Structure 1
Amino acid sequence: MPENTPTGLTGLAFGGDYNPEQWPESVWREDMALMREAGVTMVSVGIFSWALLEPSPGAYDFAWLDRVLDLLHENGIRADLGTPTVAPPAWFYRAHPEALPVTAEGVRQEFGSRGAICHSNAAYREASSGITGQLARRYAQHPALAMWHVHNEFGVPVSACYCSSCAVHFRDWLQTTYGSVEAVNEAWGTAFWGQRYGSFAEIEPPRVTPTVGNPAQALDYRRFADATLRENFVRERDILHRLAPGAPVTTNFMTALSQCDSLDYWAWGREVDIVTNDHYLITDGRRTHVNLAMAADLTRSVAGGAPWLLLEHSTSGVNWQPRNPAKAPGQMARNSLAHVARGSEGAMFFQWRQSRRGAEKFHSAMLPHAGTDSRVWREVVELGASIEQLGPLKGTRTVADVAVLWDWHSWWAQTLQWRPSEDHDARERA
């Protein structure tokens, strides 16, 4: 059975997403030296690299990733190796445009971002299984491998697709769940507004309607979408377990962020070998320390009280909110250690080296644009030393004195249209 901790990691995890493919190879050895200076013990690699690993259908190029993993091993840094299935290559969409997701308004989204996936699509499932199997066979015995990282932030940015393939899949899910269309009619209350169905074939996804649709149908579609995403995780996980036995498999959760309110993490927590979480501060006036504490405690609960791992947070400001302030001096360390105090076996970031190009070029990183002569870098090095000193905490458990009941399905229901108040936020009440 796989371990429930990264293999070969004797202390706490400290590091971040490492994307060497964004940089000339001449930079890689500098990265290694600076990682050692900062006390980095593990990095996440390969998460968005499908187009480089399989530049054309069935043609693979692992040479660059071989060199990266070898460098990491030479420098005593463990690898959280990603399956790059969150970002299929352009050639895949050219061959299978039907794998692009369709919105509830009926608009097919396009390639050019990330996560543009219909998770019911058979071609996507076959292709993602293929690249996952290739990675597993090649790196199962690599000495740098600490664990596998499937996909990335399931449900972000697309939690549900509304295409015809999903309609067929949804009907199958309803038949398995309810057994008969009569049971669906009863559960959904379709006698209201004359919505009664005579057969499963008449049921479609809850696409845009003239006014509010059936809330029970919308709730079931969220359950179906969650189950569909989880099917794809389990499929990849099982390939990795079979071909690379012993290495734990995870995927990064986002337990308390509105950006990923589409997954039932109680169910997901039972499927991963290690529970990991991403957490970013929301700067719209809400009490960020409350959300941080809730996210960490909730993640620990999803892990059944066992240690878990903060796989992503930011050294300073992010770039995807309307306003993205930098963190104050000391705030990065306070946030990181708060997660450790609540059960995380380390503190990981997005990302190691700040990007020069692309959508997240203004997102902070461990090594910022300003380089090593910067406050962020100095705080990163100080935090790395603190994390190293806390190594004896590895394997210990945080015990809570108070319990709060949390249910994702209830939360989904509370956020449907036409409710008593849009001002209610269950997370604040918790």
Structure 2
Amino acid sequence: MQVKLLFFASLKDIVGSRQLQLDLPHGATIEDVLTELEASYPRIRDYRPVVLTAINEEYVDQRTPIHEGDELAIFPPVSGGEVDSVPLIISRLGELYQITRDVIDAQNISRQLLRGEDGAVCVFEGVVRNNSKGKRTLHLVYEAYETMALKKLEEIGIFVRQVWDIDSIAMIHRLGHLDIGETSVAVIVTSAHRRAAFDACHYAIDKLKKVVPIWKKEFFEDGYDCRRCQGMRLKRLAWTYKDCPVYYLTLVSHDRKRLFANDLVHTAFKDFGKNAIHHGVTVGQYVLMPDHIHLFAAFSAEAISVSVWVKSLKNTLSKCLRSNNIASPHWQKGFFDHVLRSDEADVQKWEYVRHNPVRAGLVASADIWEFQGEVYALEFSR
């Protein structure tokens, strides 16, 4: 089968091309591709422990199988080189995401976003400085996996709007040659109050630096360095580590209203759970009861806090309920959480909660309760 390979930053320099076509046997995985590439380009072996991979613009594990027609991108940890393309932009009410080669005018964008009810605007601009690692910097060149970068900017922005009470957000990153003092990236957030604007802007730029596939090449007086920043190192989705605790969480409806055991909420919950992986949270098994939700989730070192993530989940499901003309309030304040210490504790807890529908008299067997499932498999390190 034919697979298209894309290379970025220092890996592009090693291969000598941004794009290759590769013939692979059916059933081949990304690990097989990397092994084959190492035979022709031995220096790739040095990147094997840290390389990131994406299929069709979604981060994936190296053991992921590849299919006919897939586009496989291979790159070092992200953050901050040069590609031939036109600016990419997503613009709608309250949101602006853009990858561009033009000068970024953050103040003009701020004026476009501001509304009469806004009481705060938080603007972050990342600019090119004249030194790095004790050496004098002449200029930078930024490179990106452009379509995926735009997609990741949008994912971050949507998440930020779910978690914080803001009015609008803009995230723009510039590519190509940048001189000292020029803006490389801007994040602008408007809101009624300053705290939400500060917190949302802070989270957005930190997340951008971790997951958006953009790299920078620094040109010094004595040469250049393709920067391999401390980007996000994706772990196996089916594995959690000692520094990645698994939480058992329970969320309860306001006044025990029967809100959650329906197809509408179930679909919204599953979609949210799948997207959570982009924010360092791996959702495992879950049960939706009429008036409460049980779920298991692992939080990586890069993840947001449990309370912020739960708030985002509640906001998402509340929007779903309101779209079905179910008025607020929907939730009991707070939530219940418990850190699991072992596979045994996980199994015991799951066996208990999965039988809740039976104990509540909703079904005769736990296996036939339709509002339960597993988003990703969670295991404990040994």
Structure holding more strand per residue:
2
Structure holding more helix per residue:
1
TM class, shorter-chain normalised? under 0.3
The normalised TM-score by structure 2 is 0.23
Structure with bigger RCO (C-alpha 8 Å, 6+ apart): 1
The normalised TM-score by structure 1 is 0.21
